[in-house]
Amino acid sequence: GDSVTQMEGPVTLSEEAFLTINCTYTATGYPSLFWYVQYPGEGLQLLLKATKADDKGSNKGFEATYRKETTSFHLEKGSVQVSDSAVYFCALSAYSGAGSYQLTFGKGTKLSVIP
């Protein structure tokens, strides 16, 4: 079945440091790929997405490129802020028939940014 593997956390960075969170996937077909963010006590917010190979998703300074050859979708940000502290989830969306899409998530990576 489909699966997503992301780097284990927690990750602790100083403010303005460079962030990379690795994500690789296994899927049949051509999934869309997503990064979601979860702030403490809240639900998931869509951060960015890419729907086909070589697409780059970007939002709020975060970027990720859909790499079909390495089945990866690594999240990057050039300069993190304290407000970026959250749990980040990589996910893929696979079509399961009759108009139905289901998301498969990684286990999440907790990021803490210290001043």
Partner 1 sequence: ETGVTQSPTHLIKTRGQQVTLRCSSQSGHNTVSWYQQALGQGPQFIFQYYREEENGRGNFPPRFSGLQFPNYSSELNVNALELDDSALYLCASSSFDSNEQFFGPGTRLTVL
Q: Which of 21, 23, 32, 47 binds partner 1 (CB under 8 A)?
A: 32
Cβ neighbours around 32 below 10 Å, total? 20
Q: Which of 24, 59, 104, 112 binds partner 1 (CB under 8 A)?
A: 104
Minimum distance, C-beta of residue 36 to partner 1, in the bound complex (Å): 8
Stretch binding partner 1 (CB under 8 A), from 21-29, 53-61, 74-82, 103-111: 103-111
Contacts of 21 (CB under 8 A, 6+ apart): 6, 7, 11, 74, 75, 76, 88, 90, 109, 111
Under the rule (CB under 8 A), what is the footprint of partner 1?
Answer: 4, 32, 36, 42-46, 49, 51, 89, 91, 93, 95-108
